[in-house]
Homo-oligomer: A and B are copies of this chain.
């Protein structure tokens, strides 16, 4: 999995600004900010691409539920005007725009606010990408802010169009939940993807472990740590959400939120298990490598050790002393060979007995 680009100059720019100053800190997106209104109730389902906020307003005033989706956060003045019309708290807008937000749930008097990080795969099915999503629930409308125009909620919209599930018949709070639920499904999906990797690594470890395997394990661990960093506060936020007593939230929906909370916990459990498994595999890898290295060095040292005494022996009879009786014996040479072979055999037997070879 490749790594997302890291933006590092964010907070330098924020230093001198008053708190609550809206400023977009993410990357520039290709497409401009666009406003999509989904107007629905049990009988109606209409998708409109709005140009102006006035147009949005007209939909909002209708008795049906209004879901306004904002793609792209670069047009800050537009968003500020939008915030004013929807009476969003300055801090809320700041949180929407600061795309390095910690997932959190905030219960404003007039709104419920949920910001979290959405993970999904690039079209290649391997590279992980993420964007920040902010949801604002009002009395009869829902605002969703996405960094980039994406297809994450296409299936949800299709479901709504076909009238499947309870979204159309329930209030905006259920849609709010349904959007969180999609995010949770993605988290579970990614964790399963991770787990599938584990099997590959385990196989690689057993058949042909290389230093590359180790590096891959470190990368996976890093990915898991990053996902966990978003998931842990998201679980907390969901649990806060489930306990929140705002009149904007209908009692029936609470049960669903608790379920999403359980899913988050399940994803966390799986993630922790995954991290622990990688740690164990790393340990196995390291001890296998060290074992293998030890084996190599041991055997080589063994070879050396057997030959060193032999070299000494032949050295002895290479000496040039005038008087060395063995050199004159007829079977001296043969005797030396016999002695050496005996010595080697004895050493091998000894090593065997001591389990050194």
Give the shortest distance, in Å, between A317 (CB) and chain B (any CB).
4
A61 lies within 8 A of chain B by Cβ: no
Answer whether A218 and B280 are a contact pair too, CB < 8 Å, given A262-B102, A319-B317: yes
Assess A301 versus B298: contact at CB under 8 Å? Given A102-B262, A158-B16, A289-B291: no
In the bound complex, CA of A354 to CA of B299 (Å): 11
A267 CB to nearest chain B CB (Å) = 10
Give the CA-CA distance A321 to B335 in the complex, in Å.
11
A130 at interface, CB cutoff 8 A: no
Asked if A18 CB lies within 8 Å of chain B CBs, one says yes
Q: What are 26 A-B residue pairs whose CB atoms fall within 8 Å in the complex?
A: A8-B196, A10-B192, A11-B185, A15-B182, A15-B186, A15-B189, A16-B158, A18-B164, A19-B165, A19-B177, A19-B181, A102-B265, A102-B266, A102-B269, A104-B262, A108-B255, A286-B287, A300-B302, A300-B304, A303-B308, A308-B308, A311-B311, A314-B318, A314-B319, A315-B315, A322-B328
| Range, interface on chain A | 35 or more
Instruction: Please measure, in the bound complex, the distance between the C-alpha atom of A116 and the C-alpha atom of B347, giving whole angstroms.
Output: 59
In the complex the two chains form, is A333's CB within 8 Å of B311's CB? no
A308, closest chain B residue (CB): B307
Residues of A within 8 A of B (CB): 6, 8-12, 14-21, 89, 91, 95, 100-102, 104, 108, 155, 158-159, 164-167, 177-178, 181-182, 185-186, 188-189, 192, 195-196, 199, 211, 214-215, 218, 221-222, 225, 229, 233, 255-256, 259-260, 262, 265-266, 269, 273, 276-277, 280, 283-284, 286-289, 291, 293-294, 296-305, 307-312, 314-324, 326-328, 330-333, 336, 354, 356
| Chain B residues, Cβ within 8 Å of A320 | 317-320, 324, 327
Per assembly, the copies of the chain total 5
Bound-state Cα–Cα, A322 to B100, Å? 83
A188, B289: Cβ atoms closer than 8 Å: no
Cα-based distance from A317 to B14 in the complex (angstroms): 79
Shortest Cβ gap from A252 to chain B (Å): 10
Contact B303 A303 (CB under 8 A): no
Contacts of A356 in B (CB 8 A): 296, 299-300
Bound form: Cα–Cα A95–B262 in Å:
11
Report yes or no: B165 in contact with A195, Cβ–Cβ below 8 A: no
Considering the complex of A and B, which 9 residue pairs feature the smallest CB-CB distances, nearest first?
A18-B165, A314-B315, A16-B155, A317-B319, A318-B318, A321-B333, A300-B305, A11-B188, A11-B189
Residues of B within 8 A of A18 (CB): 159, 164-167, 178
Q: Known interface pairs A196-B8, A287-B214, A303-B309. Does A256 touch B315 (Cβ–Cβ under 8 Å)?
A: no
* Apart from the given pairs A296-B301, A300-B304, A321-B326, 8 other A-B contacts in the complex at a CB distance below 8 Å: A17-B165, A19-B259, A108-B255, A222-B277, A304-B304, A314-B318, A319-B327, A323-B333
Q: Are A319 and B333 in contact (CB under 8 A)?
A: yes
Contact of A308 (CB < 8 Å), options: B265, B311, B324, B330 = B311
Minimum CB–CB distance from A158 to chain B (whole Å) comes to 7
